[in-house]
Each structure stands twice: as C-alpha cells, then as structure tokens.
C-alpha cells in the first residue's frame, strides 16, 4: 500500500509542476460512497489534494479530451486509457501539444459487478472500504467481507496486454514485463454458441436496453454523439421505438462506426445502467479487424485506422482469387 | 387493514395475479434486477432496489398515440386516423416508495384543468401499486429529504413491510383492501408491530434529512453563472441514464414512423440532457452545452417545478441517477453547491 | 381542441402560395364542416401541423379570425417536417391541432398606437394581428409596420405588400439588408431603421417577431426609444412536441412557450431566466 501512496505523491508532484500551464488535469477522486470514485477536474491545489489512483478509479479520462478543443489539459491515464489517447491522436481529433499525459503503470481496476456478486449484501449498503495488500476489506449492511482484488478485477484487466501507458509525458510506477493479450472466458463461451442461442440471448438482453446512450457518450471515440445517426431525423435511419430489434440495430451501427477505432477500454459496458455485455460485440469486431486488416487500434502513433483510408489492394483481402 | 403473507405465498399470489393481469415486478436478469412483465418461471427479486424505475407502468418507453392509414390516390378514399388509447390493467409489485412516488410528479402535469393526457390517465387509473417498504437505506438514498421516507405509502394501494418469515401487508386504498381478501393473506397478529418497528428503524438509519427548501431560489440565483455550471457539469457525459432511470422524469418525444401506406405516431422517453432536446429547426439551440442542460435539469427539478406545483420537488430521492451515472454526477452535491454558494460573490 | 390533446383534426390543403424561395403559405380547411364552422381562435395562437409519417411542427395561425374561409399557416423549409410540408399540393391531407397557446392581448391594445416590427418569417404572427387590426381598424389609433428581410425575394406576403403600402390608414416601411437593383424602399438592419424612424412610445404598443438575434437588437432599440417593458410584446419560437405544456422541452424557467406563451411581454421575459 505504501508503494501506491508514494506513487500518488509522485503523481501529485508531477501535476503540481504543470498545473499553471494547463486548463485542468483530469484524474479521479472519492465518489458518492467508499466503493466508488468519480472523475476529478484538477484546477487548484485544493483539487489536487483529493486525487486518488486506487483500483476504484475506473473512469477513462480520455472521454473528456475532445471537449477541451483549443485548450491545453492534462490527463492521468492507465494503459488502456493511453490507447484511447493514441487513437484520438491518430484520427487528429486532438493535438499532441494540447494534452499532457501523466501515465500510470496499472495493476488493474475493479469491476463493480464482480464486487456486487461477491458481497453478502447489496453494495448500496456499503459503510466502509479499506484497500489492503491486494485485498478489499468492505463493511456492508453491518457485515464484514474481504475480497481478493484479483477476483474482482475487471475482465479487461485480467486479459490486458498493455498495462503501461504506451505514450506518456510522465510515467509513474513500475513497468510490467511484456505480456500477451488473452481472450476472456465469457467471450470464448459466447462465440461458441450457435446462432439460435446467440439470437435468443440478444433478444432477451436487448429488451433491457433503454437507449440512454450512456455507452455512446462515455466512449472516447464517439465524438459525433451530439449529431448521432440514432436520433437523426434527416437522414432517418432508426425509429425511436425502444424494442430489441431497434436497440440491437443501434449497437450494430455503433460497433460499425467503431470498426478499427475501438481500443477496448470497456467503458461502454461499465457505463450501461442495465448491465448489457456490450464488450462481447466489440471484442468480436476487433478480432475481425485484426484478421482482415492486421490492425489494432490505439497501440501505435501515426497509424491510420483501416476504414479511414483506402488501399487499391488490401494486403489480407484476397478479392481476386476467382 | 393489515395482513401477513409468507415469502412463498407472496410468490404464489403474484404468479396467480400474473395469470389474470399484467404484473410488473423486479426480476433478476443478466446479473441485474429490472422490472419485467412477470412470466411463468420468473423469480421475484426483492433483495435490492430495481435498477430501473417502475414508471413503465404509467409511462411506457414507447407507446403508439395514433396511426394513419393512407390510401392510393385512385381509390378515392381519404386518410383514416385511428386513436390508440391504452386498455387493460397493470399491477406493479415490489417497487419501493420512491418508485411509486413518480406518479405524484406526473399527475399535476399530465392532468390539469384544461389538458388531460388520456394515455397517462388511463394507465395510471388502471395500475395497482403494491409497494415494498425499504429495510435500510443505500448510500445514495435521500427520499427523506424530498418529503418522503422508506415506508411512505403515498400513491400505493398496498404497502408491504418485510418481517420475520414474510411480509406485513397494509391496505392503503379500497383497491388494496380488496386484494388483501385473498386466502393467501393471514391475520398479522404481533407482526404488525414488528413491521412498524422495522419501518421506524429504517427511517432512523437514514439520519438527518437535508433541507432543500432554499434550493429553488438559490438555483435561480446561479442561473447566469456559467462558470458554476461548467464546474458542476465537467464530468457529465450528457447521456440520458439519469433521466431514464428517474421515476419522476416525464419528458417525452413524439416522432412519426412510416412503412408503406401506414404511419404511426410514437411517443418515447426523451431526455433534457441530450443535445437535440431543444434544437430548433433554424439551428439555434438555447441549451447547446452540457452546462446549460445540467443547469436546466437541476433547475427544473428543484426550482421551476416546485414553483409551479406548491413546493413539491420533482425528485423522489431514490438515488438511481447517482448510482447509474457513468461519471458519478451527484444531484445532491450539485443542488447543495448552489444552496451553499455565498451570496456576495 | 379534442378531448385527447394529441389527436389532430384532418384538414385539406386548398391553396399553396409560394412566398419566397424557402417559405410557402398553406391555406387549409378542416374536413369536418361543423368543426370548421365553429373553429375559433385569437391572433397569436398557434397550431401543430401534421404530415403523417414525417411528424408535426408548430406554426402560428397566420390568417385573421375575421377571415375564416380557411386557416393559413406560413412555413419556412428547414428540416424533415417542413420539407414534406413544402411538397404538399391542393387536395392533400394534413392534420391540425389548434388553437394552442396564448394570443396577443388585443383588448389591451385598443385605443392605442400600434407599432409592428417584423423580420423575415417573423412577419407570420404579425400578419395575423395586422390583418385582424385592419379588419377592426377603428379600435386602434395609428398603425405602423416596419418589415424587413435579407433581400427583396425574402419578403413574404408579396401579394399583399402593395396594398399595405398603398393604404392610407397604415404606415408601412419595408427594408432589406443591402442595396438591390430596383429596390425603392429602405436599406439597413431593422433595429437601425427603427431608430431612424424614431417612433414615439406615447400610448404605443410595439410588437416584434423575427430571428432571435433580430428580436434581441430590436428590444434594445425599443428601450433606447424609451418604450416601457409592458409596452413591448414579442412572440417566441422553441422546439415543440406536445404543444400543451407536458413534454417538458419548450420552457424558459417556469414558463412553457407552448402553454404560457408564445406571446410574452418584455416585462414578463425580464422576470424569466435568460434562456432564449
């Protein structure tokens, strides 16, 4: 724990040194209860005091980057967040000299869903949380529970190949040994299902969708959210009717627009108020992109997303094998 | 009039009800708990407040207001308009007092002296609310600060309170009393007092209520202070989760869908946090930034609505907006920040 | 109005007038003869026109209640519904939900001088009141109309302008933003022409309508000319859906433009949060 505390101090010092030249630095602070953090917009020393980088700090600060056009900001980024930043840079949605990146070498963030499943009572009744060595000591509804951090880390973290920011102006923490990306069991299990079962799954799951567009608005890459095809009347693509068919149609459009751009930060799934496993669709789409274009979003600067460029002959698409 | 029903018998009672009427109940599904139309085999889940509110019962996500049939020009027939008023009854069971309270905010808007919304009125009049009192508050509960409480029976037909082995059921209306005549309900005996104690305990656990009475005036004072609203809305991502989760949010959209010769006028939930909510045909948008929209949302709930409707706050304190906001925007904090903003500055 | 406030009455287009390159006026008659006969409204009230399949939009009832052969609505083509409206021809069917909103306070204007200031499509609600006043001319003192648009082709009601200009019982001043060949009237922005005209606020009511920016500067000019807040009236536009104060979107603070407006005095607007 002391390691993390000194990392926090190191980060604060780095931010403090640059605060004057930045409109704000986006990190995290304690949220509405001891189990939740919330994004923090640091503009003063008083703000800086509240900064936290615990595993509860799950939000992707890169989501806010494009809202600060023309201003210079700082972002505290974990590995996956740095991928979002790289993708934004590659698509020229932000400029490199407009953002100072405070990188955190990351050991993972929690999944609130997994915490909920592991606790003896609803996390809404949480009274106290203590982060120990790789453990969460939680008092909820008068009962004590100790959860192993490893067991409640988000799926994206358990299978993460990029825990350290791939681009940063300041790097905090110990770099990790290189690792391979792996696929979560839930992804493999879903892909193994037959079409009938998949259809039944989405019919049922999409009936929960309320078209709140939290998934769209939390996505760092969805910069056209205010002019979205889902609510456009001219051209008219979708009914406003909130049925599984229309809801799924929205996801298909969303995923298509993210083809080659999604960096799997997982925010969409985290943000969904009704727990729709949206990452199933995006991981699958990213697999296709890797196979067809040999491309992965957000891991290299100065790469153009494959659908934003045109090649007369695609290296991996054999069109002319008659 | 009070009765007692065991856990198992409540499941049976609800299942039997579902055979005759539409029943909306909290059901565990996909790792979450939402209100669903109860079908055979579904298990009631009363262990936590349902993620979405039960407002679908009186204000569904979609409803067809009317349809229009066009005819080919050669037929000589003109267009035919068909009204689609809702029919049937709905029983909502297992909602919390905060969920039931949504109706109280809708009523003065949807049913005035001059204007009566028949779609809402029919659904509301055809709905029965069997509300479950809360045993303990969540960190995000603040119903006691907006004129309610964990055992508030306002708007309910029956109030259930969990006791050892089951629930004490209290009739609030004649409709509720009739339902409690069912054989599965027994005499409550001493359990009635136990229920009373549990409800008192739940209220005590909530602690002191916050006084929002100055909010209406203070929010207006901050209206032109865009720096304040910029800061308050910094982390907002301008989606619609808060609005759609909220039992009291009542804004809607009307759009037409067309397929061949039939068109349909659809009413759907809409949210004031979206960019297009106030976008005019000319391109002008009075609320073009999320700061403007958050200001309007807070203003409407804690200032404009109370001013128009005898001080009633358009918020039931359920805390769903806080829990479900992807960024953790806390409505209590925003309103309190306006209340505590020094006057001289 | 029907018991179900969302239910439109069916109407037939009897005439389409091409006013400008992007404005058309539609003259409608309700299909139900009894309803058409008993239809009553006051100048300033609006209606929702439905093109079924596209949607509904709000327009002021543009004809005067003193001339009930038809109901007229002037429509500027800006989006989905208005584009479909512009495709309509005589004989086509539309839906009408009217009258909605609060009218101009005509009783308070009797015996006074009336100053109309209209910009572009903002002339639509003013035309209703203007025509009404011409038909009840003796109830009012001097009537002045200042009507401006970007260019000569953008002026609506071209068929009526010569009559308005010729009449001796009203003073009509037209203006456009820039010089145009053949343009014989004033050149300049409406607020500036207004200041040039220097109308007296004595026993006068000023009614203005136009794009938000024009309203803003015209209000400033009227204040410069010493018009009191209660003497200035405007009618506002907002994105609307239900038109009856329920769907929650057209509000300025506590006031709903569809229900408490669209007509507001400047005095009323000053009480409200500035959210035009």
Tens of pLDDT, residue by residue over B281-292, are 888 999 999 999
Q: Which chain B residues are closer than 8 Å to A267 by Cβ?
A: 326
| Partner-chain contact C274 B110, CB within 8 Å | no
pLDDT bin (cut points 50, 70, 90) of residue C1 is: low
| Partner-chain contact A234 C80, CB within 8 Å | yes
Using alpha carbons, select from C224, C229, C231 the residue that is nearest to residue C202.
Answer: C231
Whole-angstrom distance, CA of residue A69 vs CA of residue A82: 18
Q: Which residues contact A79 (CB under 8 A, 6 or more apart)?
A: A105, A106, A160, A162, A163, A164, A165, A166
Whether residues A159 and A70 fall in one domain? yes
Per the prediction, chain A carries an average pLDDT of: 93
Residue-range domain boundaries for chain C: 9-100, 113-206
Whole-angstrom distance, CA of residue B158 vs CA of residue B130: 5
pLDDT at B26: 95
Whole-angstrom distance, CA of residue B297 vs CA of residue C102: 26
| Partner-chain contact C53 B300, CB within 8 Å | no
Whole-angstrom distance, CA of residue B331 vs CA of residue A123: 20
Whole-angstrom distance, CA of residue B319 vs CA of residue B53: 11
pLDDT digits (tens, 9 = 90+) for A128-182: 999 988 999 999 999 999 999 999 999 999 999 999 999 999 999 999 999 998 9
The C-alpha angle C238, B246, A240, rounded to 5 degrees, equals 55
| Residue B52 contacts A, CB cutoff 8 Å | yes
pLDDT bin (cut points 50, 70, 90) of residue A4 is: low
| Partner-chain contact B324 A273, CB within 8 Å | yes
Q: What's the residue count for chain C? A: 276
Per the prediction, chain B carries an average pLDDT of: 95
| Partner-chain contact C6 B253, CB within 8 Å | no
Least confident of A302-306, B134-138, C180-184: A302-306
Q: Please report, rounded to a whole number, the percentage of residues in chain B having pLDDT higher than 70.
A: 99
Whether residues A210 and A254 fall in one domain? yes
pLDDT at C274: 87
pLDDT bin (cut points 50, 70, 90) of residue C148 is: very high
Q: Angle of helix B102-110 relative to helix B118-125, nearest 10 degrees?
A: 140
pLDDT digits (tens, 9 = 90+) for A274-319: 999 999 999 999 999 999 999 999 999 988 888 888 888 777 777 6
Say which of B115, B223, B256 has its CB closest to residue C5.
B115
| Partner-chain contact B254 C249, CB within 8 Å | no
| Residue A205 contacts B, CB cutoff 8 Å | yes
The C-alpha angle A166, A167, A172, rounded to 5 degrees, equals 85
| Partner-chain contact B258 C248, CB within 8 Å | no
pLDDT at A322: 55
Shortest CA gap A233–chain C (Å)? 7
pLDDT digits (tens, 9 = 90+) for B16-36: 999 989 999 999 988 889 999
| Partner-chain contact B271 A124, CB within 8 Å | no
- Whether A73 is in a domain gets the answer yes
- Whether A319 is in a domain gets the answer no
- Whether A318 is in a domain gets the answer no
Probe site for chain B from A65, A118, A214, A234 (most B CB atoms < 10 A): A214
| Residue A229 contacts B, CB cutoff 8 Å | no
Tokens representing A134 are 């790789």
pLDDT bin (cut points 50, 70, 90) of residue A321 is: low
**Residue A102 confidence (pLDDT) above 80:** yes
Whether residues A19 and A166 fall in one domain? yes
Q: What is the mean pLDDT of residues B48-60?
A: 94
Last residue within a domain, chosen from A100, A126, A152: A152
| Residue B266 contacts A, CB cutoff 8 Å | yes
Number of domains in chain A: 2
pLDDT bin (cut points 50, 70, 90) of residue C11 is: very high
Shortest CA gap C253–chain B (Å)? 6
Whether residues A222 and A93 fall in one domain? yes
Whether residues A55 and A125 fall in one domain? no
Q: What is the mean pLDDT of residues B249-255?
A: 96
Q: What is the Cα C129 distance to its own chain's centre?
A: 8
| Residue B103 contacts C, CB cutoff 8 Å | no
Whether residues A157 and A274 fall in one domain? yes
| Residue C212 contacts A, CB cutoff 8 Å | no
pLDDT digits (tens, 9 = 90+) for A27-58: 999 999 999 999 999 999 999 999 999 999 99
pLDDT at C203: 96
Pairs of residues, one from chain A and one from chain C, whose beta carbons lie less than 8 Å apart: 7
Whether residues A143 and A198 fall in one domain? no
Q: Which chain A residues are closer than 8 Å to B136 by Cβ?
A: 125, 141
CATH topology of domain C113-206: Rossmann fold (3.40.50)
| Residue A249 contacts B, CB cutoff 8 Å | no
Query: What's the order of all strands across the beta sheet hosting C143-149?
Result: C186-187, C171-176, C143-149, C113-119, C204-209, C232-235, C263-265
Q: Which chain C residues are closer than 8 Å to B274 by Cβ?
A: none
Element (H, E) at A43: none
Whole-angstrom distance, CA of residue C41 vs CA of residue C9: 15
Burial class of residue A192 in the structure, from the number of CB atoms within 10 Å of its CB (0-12 exposed, 13-18 middle, 19+ buried): exposed
**How many CB atoms sit inside 10 A of residue C244's CB?**
23
End-to-end CA distance of chain B: 56
Interface chains of chain C (3 or more CB pairs under 8 Å) = A, B
pLDDT at A133: 81
Whether residues A48 and A84 fall in one domain? yes
| Partner-chain contact C246 B272, CB within 8 Å | no
- Output the domain CATH number for residue A140: 3.10.450
User: Cis (ω within 30 of 0) for the bond into C262?
Assistant: yes
The answer to whether A127 touches A191, Cβ cutoff 8 Å, is no
Whole-angstrom distance, CA of residue C232 vs CA of residue C222: 8
| Residue C179 contacts B, CB cutoff 8 Å | no
| Partner-chain contact B239 A276, CB within 8 Å | no
| Residue B284 contacts C, CB cutoff 8 Å | yes
Whether residues A159 and A146 fall in one domain? no
Please list the alpha-helical segments (H only) found in chain A. Answer: 2-18, 45-49, 79-90, 112-118, 149-152, 155-158, 185-191, 195-205, 214-218, 244-257, 267-271, 279-293
Q: Which chain C residues are closer than 8 Å to B283 by Cβ?
A: 78
Pairs of residues, one from chain A and one from chain B, whose beta carbons lie less than 8 Å apart: 137
Residues within 8 A of B (CB atoms), C 84-113 only: 93, 95
Q: Angle of helix B290-299 relative to helix B226-233, nearest 10 degrees?
A: 100
pLDDT at C153: 92
Whether residues A293 and A259 fall in one domain? yes
Q: Which chain B residues are closer than 8 Å to A124 by Cβ?
A: 48-49, 138-141, 323
Q: Which residues contact C174 (CB under 8 A, 6 or more apart)?
A: C147, C148, C155, C161, C165, C185, C186
The answer to whether C46 touches C60, Cβ cutoff 8 Å, is yes
Whole-angstrom distance, CA of residue B131 vs CA of residue B155: 9
| Residue C83 contacts A, CB cutoff 8 Å | yes
Q: Which chain B residues are closer than 8 Å to A239 by Cβ?
A: 255, 257, 266
Probe site for chain C from A227, A231, A232, A233 (most C CB atoms < 10 A): A233
pLDDT digits (tens, 9 = 90+) for B149-166: 999 999 999 999 999 999
Whole-angstrom distance, CA of residue C239 vs CA of residue B285: 9
Residue of A nearest to B258 (CA): A239
Q: Which chain B residues are closer than 8 Å to C78 by Cβ?
A: 281-283
Q: Angle of helix A244-257 relative to helix A279-293, nearest 10 degrees?
A: 40
Residue-range domain boundaries for chain B: 2-53+66-205, 215-340
| Residue C31 contacts B, CB cutoff 8 Å | yes
Interface chains of chain B (3 or more CB pairs under 8 Å) = A, C
| Residue C87 contacts A, CB cutoff 8 Å | no
The answer to whether B11 touches B42, Cβ cutoff 8 Å, is no
Residue of A nearest to C82 (CA): A234
The C-alpha angle A136, A138, A141, rounded to 5 degrees, equals 160
Using alpha carbons, select from C275, C274, C239, C20 the residue that is nearest to residue C147.
Answer: C20
Shortest CA gap B337–chain A (Å)? 15
Whether residues A99 and A247 fall in one domain? yes
- Radius of gyration over every alpha carbon of chain B, rounded to an integer in angstroms: 22
- The widest CA-to-CA distance across chain B, in whole angstroms, is 76
pLDDT digits (tens, 9 = 90+) for A228-243: 988 888 888 889 999 9
CATH placement of domain C9-100: 2.40.30.10
pLDDT bin (cut points 50, 70, 90) of residue B212 is: very high
pLDDT at B47: 87
Q: What is the mean pLDDT of residues B137-143?
A: 97
Q: Following DSSP, what letter does each residue of C4-55 receive, concatenated?
A: STTPPEEEEEEEEEEEETTEEEEEEEESSHHHHHH----TT-EEEEEETTTE
Last residue within a domain, chosen from A124, A152, A180: A152
Residues within 8 A of B (CB atoms), C 246-275 only: 246-251, 253-254, 273-275
| Residue B243 contacts A, CB cutoff 8 Å | yes
Q: What is the ipTM of this complex?
A: 0.93
Q: What is the mean pLDDT of residues A108-129?
A: 95
Please tell me chain C's helix, strand, coil percentages from 3-state DSSP, rounded to the nearest 5.
25, 30, 40
- Whether A214 is in a domain gets the answer yes
| Residue B254 contacts C, CB cutoff 8 Å | yes
| Partner-chain contact A216 B239, CB within 8 Å | yes
pLDDT digits (tens, 9 = 90+) for B259-285: 999 999 999 999 999 999 999 988 899
| Residue, of B283 and C208, whose pLDDT is higher | C208
Query: By residue range, what is the domain housing residue A30?
Result: 2-111+153-308
Whether residues A159 and A248 fall in one domain? yes
Whole-angstrom distance, CA of residue B278 vs CA of residue C251: 9
Tokens representing A152 are 């409640």
Residues within 8 A of B (CB atoms), A 1-30 only: 24
Shortest CA gap B205–chain A (Å)? 11
Q: Where are the beta strands (DSSP E) in A82-185?
A: 99-104, 126-132, 135-140, 143-148, 170-172
Q: Which chain B residues are closer than 8 Å to C246 by Cβ?
A: 109-110, 115, 117, 250, 252
pLDDT at C134: 96
| Partner-chain contact A214 B326, CB within 8 Å | yes
């Amino acid at each position: 724990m002391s390691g993390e505390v000194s990392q926090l101090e190191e980060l604060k010092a780095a931010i403090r040194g640059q605060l004057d030249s930045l409109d704000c630095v986006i990190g995290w602070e304690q949220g509405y209860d001891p189990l939740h953090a919330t994004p923090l917009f640091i503009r003063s020393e008083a703000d800086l005091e509240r900064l936290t980088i615990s595993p509860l700090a799950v939000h992707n600060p890169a989501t806010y980057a494009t809202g600060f056009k023309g201003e210079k900001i700082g972002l505290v980024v974990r590995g996956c967040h740095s991928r979002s930043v790289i993708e934004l840079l590659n698509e020229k949605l932000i400029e490199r000299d407009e953002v100072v990146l405070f990188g955190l070498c990351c050991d993972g963030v929690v999944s609130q869903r997994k915490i909920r499943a592991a606790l003896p009572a609803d996390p809404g009744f949480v009274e106290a949380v203590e982060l120990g060595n790789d453990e969460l000591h939680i008092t909820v509804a008068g009962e004590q529970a100790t959860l192993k951090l490893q067991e409640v880390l988000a799926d994206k973290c358990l299978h993460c190949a990029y825990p350290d920011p791939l681009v940063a102006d300041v790097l905090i923490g110990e770099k990790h040994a290189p690792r391979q990306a792996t696929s979560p069991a839930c992804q493999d299990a879903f892909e193994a299902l037959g079409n009938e079962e998949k259809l039944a799954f989405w019919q049922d799951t999409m009936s929960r969708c309320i078209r709140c567009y939290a998934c769209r608005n939390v996505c760092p890459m969805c910069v056209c959210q205010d002019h979205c095809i889902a609510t456009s009347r001219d051209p008219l693509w979708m009914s406003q009717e909130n049925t599984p068919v229309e809801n799924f149609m929205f996801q298909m459009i969303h995923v298509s627009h993210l083809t080659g751009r999604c960096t799997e930060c997982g925010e969409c799934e985290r943000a969904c108020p009704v727990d729709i496993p949206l990452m199933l669709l995006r991981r699958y789409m990213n697999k296709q992109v890797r196979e067809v274009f040999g491309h992965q979003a957000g891991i290299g600067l100065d790469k153009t997303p494959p659908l934003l460029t045109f090649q007369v002959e695609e290296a991996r698409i054999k069109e002319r094998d008659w | 009039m009070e009765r007692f029903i065991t856990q198992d018998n409540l499941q049976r009672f609800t299942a039997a009800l579902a055979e005759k009427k539409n029943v909306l109940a909290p059901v565990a599904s996909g790792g979450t708990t939402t209100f669903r139309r109860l079908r055979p085999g579904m298990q009631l889940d009363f262990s936590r407040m349902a993620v979405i509110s039960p407002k679908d019962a009186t204000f569904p996500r979609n409803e067809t207001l009317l349809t229009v049939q066009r005819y080919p020009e050669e037929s000589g027939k003109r267009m035919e308009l068909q009204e689609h008023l809702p029919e049937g009854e709905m029983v909502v069971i297992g909602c919390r007092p905060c969920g039931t309270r949504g109706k109280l905010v809708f009523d003065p808007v949807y049913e005035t002296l001059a204007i009566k919304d028949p779609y809402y009125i029919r659904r509301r009049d055809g709905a029965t609310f069997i509300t479950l009192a809360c045993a303990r508050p969540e960190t995000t509960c603040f119903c006691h600060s907006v004129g309610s409480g964990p055992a508030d029976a306002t708007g309910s037909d029956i109030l259930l309170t969990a006791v050892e082995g089951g629930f004490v059921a209290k009739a609030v209306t004649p409709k509720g009393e009739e339902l409690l005549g069912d054989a599965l309900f027994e005499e409550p005996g001493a359990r009635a007092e136990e229920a009373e104690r549990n409800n008192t305990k739940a209220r005590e656990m909530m602690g002191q209520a916050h006084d929002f009475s100055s909010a209406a005036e203070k929010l207006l004072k901050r209206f032109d202070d865009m720096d304040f609203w910029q800061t308050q809305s910094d982390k907002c991502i301008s989606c619609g989760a808060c609005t759609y989760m909220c039992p009291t949010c009542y804004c809607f959209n009307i759009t037409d869908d067309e397929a061949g010769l039939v068109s349909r006028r659809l009413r759907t939930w809409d949210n004031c946090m979206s960019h297009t909510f106030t976008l005019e045909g000319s391109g002008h948008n009075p609320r073009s930034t999320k700061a403007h929209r958050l200001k309007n949302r807070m203003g409407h709930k804690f200032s404009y609505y109370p001013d128009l409707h005898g001080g009633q706050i358009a918020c039931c304190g359920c805390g769903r907006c806080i829990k479900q906001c992807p960024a953790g925007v806390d409505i209590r904090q925003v309103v309190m920040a306006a209340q505590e903003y020094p006057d001289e500055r | 109005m029907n018991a179900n406030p969302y239910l439109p009455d069916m109407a037939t287009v009897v005439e389409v007038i091409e006013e400008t390159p992007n404005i058309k006026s539609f003259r409608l008659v309700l299909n139900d003869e009894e309803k058409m006969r008993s239809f009553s409204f006051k100048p300033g009230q609006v209606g929702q026109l439905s093109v079924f399949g596209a949607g509904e939009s709000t327009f002021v009832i543009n004809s005067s209640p003193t001339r009930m052969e038809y109901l007229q609505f002037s429509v500027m083509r800006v989006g989905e519904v208005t584009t479909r409206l512009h495709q309509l021809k005589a004989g086509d069917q539309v839906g009408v939900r009217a009258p909605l909103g609060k009218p101009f306070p005509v009783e308070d204007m009797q015996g006074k001088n009336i100053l109309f200031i209209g910009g572009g499509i903002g002339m639509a609600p003013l035309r209703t009141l203007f025509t009404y006043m011409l038909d009840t001319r003796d109830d009012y003192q001097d009537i002045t109309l200042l009507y401006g648009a970007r260019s000569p082709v953008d002026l609506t009601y071209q068929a009526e302008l010569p009559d308005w200009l010729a009449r001796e019982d009203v003073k009509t001043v037209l203006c456009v933003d820039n010089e145009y060949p053949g343009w014989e009237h004033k050149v300049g922005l409406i607020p500036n022409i207004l200041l040039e005209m220097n109308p007296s606020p004595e026993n006068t009511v000023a009614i203005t309508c136009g794009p938000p920016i024009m309203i803003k500067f015209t209000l400033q000019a009227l204040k410069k000319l010493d018009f009191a807040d209660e003497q200035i009236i405007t009618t506002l536009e907002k994105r609307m859906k239900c038109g009856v104060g329920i769907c929650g979107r057209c509000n300025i603070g506590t006031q709903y433009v569809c229900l408490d407006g669209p007509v507001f005095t400047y005095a009323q607007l000053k009480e409200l949060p500035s959210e035009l």
